[in-house]
Chains A and B, each alone.
Chain A
């Protein structure tokens, strides 16, 4: 049984501990670090954190990873609560919305320290109003994968060099079992199909829609006809990630327009994939839409300097190199990417072919409009376009409806 002295002693010890705890806490700086669907690299990220803490004593880093659709809602609720994570990994054009709404820290003052490290075309993908809002984590853009076996069966020797040739080839490949062409459609990834026909979404000042043109009507009509005939697989307009990649991996689709990450999915599921059967090419006109991941710092960060130090650390050559090696992915860090390409050329020529497309023609990146309401514009445009592509409404009407809706969203911004 506890005596009075024991109780008093215990109480005193507890009080001392309680009083001492804030003092310890005050000497520790904490960073929260939010990544997007990269839990497979847990060990690597934990190693980075350990290494960073080793050279920055008294720093604690809380790492969280969220799956694809979960990250934006999570970040927004954290913003609303006034407790955004210090560092956030953002995909696509979402950064522009956050930056325009004052959620992100302008990194421009720090850029001189690191600017030379990165591929400038990719780096410019995070610039809005002359300010830089993120550093590259890993990068990718669209390319054309093609099934050489189906090409040979259809009597085709080379991948298409124009939009019309692409549809013609797709038509030749299509049978009752096979379809000719498939594209991913999220984050404007289908936009090269319009860009290669000279269609742009917005005017150069990003103030008005520019897509409702006779050329665009023609493109949509051709795509709708091809979708109806089976030349273009309808999953292009309905699927997300798993469905289109899975369809191509099954070996029944002639071409897949997707970004480099699709290769690993297709390779994982398609037993037929080899350098002899899988062809790699740029899309006609060399147009491509990037879908990059970048590190940004929340404006509400309590330790912005430390947050900068951390992203500067994890995007530097050694850390970026580890990521590139682990994932066989380009990082936007020029030295690291060059080294990875050189190694892949010897070790895995197919991966090399895929990655090589990612650093070529980076002056022809399309489908990236730094809009403060990108997701709203996307939602105003895409469902309307689906109506035409799936044969529900005529192209002319769809583009007129989409123009009205996009114009409204732009005016609200």
Chain B
């Protein structure tokens, strides 16, 4: 029996053979009698048994640390000192004194805002490779190739490409006479964040493209044919048919982009380590630095709580924008 079959309530008396847990007992107990006597209860117990290991891991590794993190954010603690309650001190510190926190928050917001750019680019590529373009399959593969690469490898390769002395990008720009002097992309306060963002977009665009391409290919062709017969221009077909029917795929890309903004630790760590200054610092890299660089686990916990709340609010808003039922299982 499949898990989905277990979840589906069976009509009374509908058993499907020996061993089927949903088969009615030859001597059914009176309603409400015995722990495992009722079919629904037995089903629930079985489901609980299946879920229990995953739930235990989820509680142990997600819920408890989250709870402990919230508690820690109201304490003063380091691995070598016992914790003591300090109220809102850690949050007050962030709010009033910590310029780096605000810089990291701003950079994270910029990172989030860049996700739509990547999605628009991916949509454009998806539309191209979904057309009758010659060699579309090859282009599709090439664009997607960046996604399965390890982020650490991507970071190292792009760091070399951005290099001021022997980097490919500087060489190309100088060869094209677009610049006189090489640019220190990752060492510049103004260029570092856009440079790292560009790398991130390059890596993730292949994934967005595949998601959007799948969405495009699931749109029934007869809708376009009917629109064409009615003389609807291409831009209107895109706005009235493609975009509305792509909404689930676009929502998925937006959510992944949002999560990516909060978890892009590896790329920033490898390429700039948050520098120069804190020009590319994100909340996630700042949390790491506070905790493991400065042994301020309490302050790191406070930033984590802020990041968690921010993620919660943004996910809620994204869910509302998607109609309020994102993630629901449709039967």
Contacts from A to B (Cβ < 8 Å): 72-73, 76-77, 79-80, 97-98, 101-103, 176, 234-235, 237-240, 247, 250, 252, 373, 375-376, 379, 383-384, 386-387, 390, 392, 405, 408
**With a CB–CB cut-off of 8 A, which chain B residues contact A387?**
189, 277
B79 touches A79 (CB 8 A): yes
**B301 at interface (Cβ–Cβ under 8 A)?**
no
**With a CB–CB cut-off of 8 A, which chain B residues contact A379?**
289, 293-294
In the bound complex, what is the Cα–Cα distance between A314 and B165 (angstroms)? Answer: 43
Sample of 8 A–B contacts (CB below 8 Å) = A76-B79, A102-B81, A176-B181, A238-B276, A250-B165, A373-B294, A383-B100, A386-B275
In the bound complex, what is the Cα–Cα distance between A379 and B188 (angstroms)? Answer: 19
Are A101 and B186 CB-contacts (below 8 A) given A383-B275, A386-B275, A387-B277? Answer: no
**B39 at interface (Cβ–Cβ under 8 A)?**
no
A390 touches B188 (CB 8 A): yes
B295 touches A392 (CB 8 A): no
- Considering the complex, give the chain B residue whose CB is closest to the CB of A80: B79
In the bound complex, what is the Cα–Cα distance between A384 and B103 (angstroms)? Answer: 13
Instruction: Return the contact of B276 from the options A237, A405, A408 (Cβ within 8 A).
Output: A237
In the bound complex, what is the Cα–Cα distance between A379 and B289 (angstroms)? Answer: 10
**B237 at interface (Cβ–Cβ under 8 A)?**
no
In the bound complex, what is the Cα–Cα distance between A271 and B19 (angstroms)? Answer: 77
Considering only residues 281-307 of chain B, those with a C-beta below 8 Å from chain A are: 289, 291-297
**With a CB–CB cut-off of 8 A, which chain A residues contact B277?**
383-384, 386-387, 390, 392
**With a CB–CB cut-off of 8 A, which chain B residues contact A373?**
294
In the bound complex, what is the Cα–Cα distance between A151 and B296 (angstroms)? Answer: 46
**With a CB–CB cut-off of 8 A, which chain B residues contact A80?**
79, 297
List 5 A-B pairs, minimum CB-CB distance, nearest first. Answer: A238-B187, A79-B79, A101-B80, A73-B292, A80-B79
Contact with A along B266-283 (1 / 0, CB 8 A): 000000010111100000
B80 touches A98 (CB 8 A): yes
A89 to chain B, nearest CB (A): 18
B275 touches A76 (CB 8 A): no
B273 touches A375 (CB 8 A): no
In the bound complex, what is the Cα–Cα distance between A375 and B291 (angstroms)? Answer: 11
Contacts from B to A (Cβ < 8 Å): 78-81, 97, 99-100, 164-165, 181, 184, 186-189, 273, 275-278, 289, 291-297
**With a CB–CB cut-off of 8 A, which chain A residues contact B275?**
238, 383, 386
In the bound complex, what is the Cα–Cα distance between A102 and B82 (angstroms)? Answer: 11
Instruction: Return the contact of B292 from the options A76, A247, A390 (Cβ within 8 A).
Output: A76
In the bound complex, what is the Cα–Cα distance between A373 and B295 (angstroms)? Answer: 9
Instruction: Return the contact of A252 from the options B165, B187, B273, B296 (Cβ within 8 A).
Output: B165
- Considering the complex, give the chain B residue whose CB is closest to the CB of A103: B80
**With a CB–CB cut-off of 8 A, which chain B residues contact A98?**
80
In the bound complex, what is the Cα–Cα distance between A114 and B229 (angstroms)? Answer: 95
B276 touches A386 (CB 8 A): yes
A35 to chain B, nearest CB (A): 19
In the bound complex, what is the Cα–Cα distance between A390 and B183 (angstroms)? Answer: 13
**With a CB–CB cut-off of 8 A, which chain B residues contact A386?**
275-277
14 other contacts beyond A250-B165, A375-B294, with CB at 8 A cut-off? Answer: A72-B293, A73-B292, A79-B80, A80-B297, A101-B79, A101-B295, A103-B80, A235-B164, A376-B294, A383-B276, A384-B277, A390-B276, A392-B189, A408-B97
Q: How many pairs, one residue from A and one from B, have CB atoms within 8 Å of each other in the complex? A: 71
**With a CB–CB cut-off of 8 A, which chain B residues contact A235?**
164, 184, 187
A97 touches B189 (CB 8 A): no
Q: Among the interface residues B81, B164, B186, which one has the most CB atoms of the partner chain A within 10 A?
A: B164
In the bound complex, what is the Cα–Cα distance between A247 and B297 (angstroms)? Answer: 36
Instruction: Return the contact of B296 from the options A73, A176, A376 (Cβ within 8 A).
Output: A376
Are A383 and B293 CB-contacts (below 8 A) given A101-B81, A390-B189? Answer: no
**With a CB–CB cut-off of 8 A, which chain A residues contact B100?**
383
A117 to chain B, nearest CB (A): 29
Are A383 and B165 CB-contacts (below 8 A) given A101-B295, A238-B186, A408-B97? Answer: no
- Considering the complex, give the chain B residue whose CB is closest to the CB of A392: B189
B187 touches A237 (CB 8 A): yes
B289 touches A240 (CB 8 A): no
In the bound complex, what is the Cα–Cα distance between A237 and B99 (angstroms)? Answer: 20
In the bound complex, what is the Cα–Cα distance between A376 and B295 (angstroms)? Answer: 9
Q: Among the interface residues A98, A176, A390, A405, which one has the most CB atoms of the partner chain B within 10 A?
A: A390
**With a CB–CB cut-off of 8 A, which chain A residues contact B297?**
80
Are A238 and B184 CB-contacts (below 8 A) given A375-B295, A390-B276? Answer: yes
In the bound complex, what is the Cα–Cα distance between A103 and B278 (angstroms)? Answer: 30
- Considering the complex, give the chain B residue whose CB is closest to the CB of A240: B273
- Considering the complex, give the chain B residue whose CB is closest to the CB of A383: B277
In the bound complex, what is the Cα–Cα distance between A233 and B80 (angstroms)? Answer: 41
A375 touches B293 (CB 8 A): yes
A81 to chain B, nearest CB (A): 8
In the bound complex, what is the Cα–Cα distance between A104 and B314 (angstroms)? Answer: 44
**With a CB–CB cut-off of 8 A, which chain A residues contact B80?**
79, 98, 101-103
A273 to chain B, nearest CB (A): 18
A76 touches B295 (CB 8 A): yes
**With a CB–CB cut-off of 8 A, which chain A residues contact B164?**
234-235
A40 to chain B, nearest CB (A): 21
A250 to chain B, nearest CB (A): 7
B231 to chain A, nearest CB (A): 57
A382 to chain B, nearest CB (A): 9
In the bound complex, what is the Cα–Cα distance between A383 and B273 (angstroms)? Answer: 12
In the bound complex, what is the Cα–Cα distance between A384 and B165 (angstroms)? Answer: 26
- Considering the complex, give the chain B residue whose CB is closest to the CB of A373: B294
- Considering the complex, give the chain B residue whose CB is closest to the CB of A243: B163
In the bound complex, what is the Cα–Cα distance between A28 and B276 (angstroms)? Answer: 50
In the bound complex, what is the Cα–Cα distance between A252 and B189 (angstroms)? Answer: 24
**With a CB–CB cut-off of 8 A, which chain A residues contact B296?**
376
**With a CB–CB cut-off of 8 A, which chain B residues contact A252?**
165
**With a CB–CB cut-off of 8 A, which chain B residues contact A384?**
277
**With a CB–CB cut-off of 8 A, which chain A residues contact B186?**
238
In the bound complex, what is the Cα–Cα distance between A23 and B81 (angstroms)? Answer: 35
